[in-house]
Structure formats: structure tokens, C-alpha cells
């Protein structure tokens, strides 16, 4: 069966591949006990699934900010323009315990618009 070939090939690929990568999904790997707010200019922006992500030059460093799935963002009125490169943004959320300088936003504010990400 073709499925067997596909699976075998995928296993070979998986075994050969180096491991030790942490994913950034769910909320479990974020430090919800210590929320933080960052504010700054968006340097890169990906309005993509599974989660939109931006990098923001804040006071201390450049944060990678994980947002929400694009369909949810759109449903709540957060378009790609809202998180366009060069825009000023405020993000309230939690730092990742797995990935350095990454945070997941609970909500973002641009101008007078605040959008919940959860």
C-alpha cells in the first residue's frame, strides 16, 4: 500500500533528522504567572497559520510575539494591516519557557484598538 511507503519514508526522515526542537503551541509552555507588556515597532510580520507572528523592537530587545490563528484574528477585527511592519504595537502576554525572547500575546493594542488573542 502507498501509505506504507509514505510512512516508511517519513520515519527514515524523522530518524535521520536531529531532534531537540521545542514547539510554541498551546499555552502550557508560557510563564503565565509573570505577565509582561512590551511596546515597540513591528520589525517583521507574518500573517500566517497556525499563528500569526511578529517581531517587535521593544526597549530591551527584539521579541518574537506569537499571536492567534489568522481566521480568529480576522474575525475579531485584527487585519494584516494592524500588524504591518513599521506599525507601533503593544502586546500583553507571557514569555516562553522554551524559546528565548519569544512571548505569546493574550491581547494586542494598536492605536485605540485592543484585540484578544485567546
Partner 1 sequence: MVEGAPQLLVDIEQSGFAAFVRQSPWFYAAANVVHILGLAIFFAAIAIMDVRLLGGLAACVPGDIVFPARRVAIGALLVQIASGLVLFAAEASHVALNPVFQIKLVLIAIALANVALVTAAMRPSMREQAGFRLPSLVRVGAIASLVLWLAVAAAGRLIAYL
Return the number of the residue (25 or 88) whose C-beta is nearest partner 1: 25
Distance separating alpha carbons of residues 87 and 35, to the nearest angstrom? 23
Asked whether the beta carbons of 71 and 33 are under 8 A apart, the reply is no
Q: What's the residue count for the chain?
A: 118
Which DSSP category does 96 fall into? B
84 is a contact residue toward partner 1 (CB under 8 A): no
Site string for partner 1, 30-69 (x = CB under 8 A): ----------------xxxxx------------------x
Cβ at position 98, least distance to partner 1 in Å: 9
85 is a contact residue toward partner 1 (CB under 8 A): no
**DSSP of 2-28:** HHHHHHHHHHHHHHHS--------SST
Return the number of the residue (21 or 33) whose C-beta is nearest partner 1: 21
- Mapping DSSP to helix (H, G, I), strand (E, B) and coil, where does residue 112 land? coil
Q: Which residues bind partner 1 (CB under 8 A)?
A: 1, 3-4, 6-8, 10-11, 13-23, 25-26, 28-29, 46-50, 69-71, 74
Amino acid at each position: 500500500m502507498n501509505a506504507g511507503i509514505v510512512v516508511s519514508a517519513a520515519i527514515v526522515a524523522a530518524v535521520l533528522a536531529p531532534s531537540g526542537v521545542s514547539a510554541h503551541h498551546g499555552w502550557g509552555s508560557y510563564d503565565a504567572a509573570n505577565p509582561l507588556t512590551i511596546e515597540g515597532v513591528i520589525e517583521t510580520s507574518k500573517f500566517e497559520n497556525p499563528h500569526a507572528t511578529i517581531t517587535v523592537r521593544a526597549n530591551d530587545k527584539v521579541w518574537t510575539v506569537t499571536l492567534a490563528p489568522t481566521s480568529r484574528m480576522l474575525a475579531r477585527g485584527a487585519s494584516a494591516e494592524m500588524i504591518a511592519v513599521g506599525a507601533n504595537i503593544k502586546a500583553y502576554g507571557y514569555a516562553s519557557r522554551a524559546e528565548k525572547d519569544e512571548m505569546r500575546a493574550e491581547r494586542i493594542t494598536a492605536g485605540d484598538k485592543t484585540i484578544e488573542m485567546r
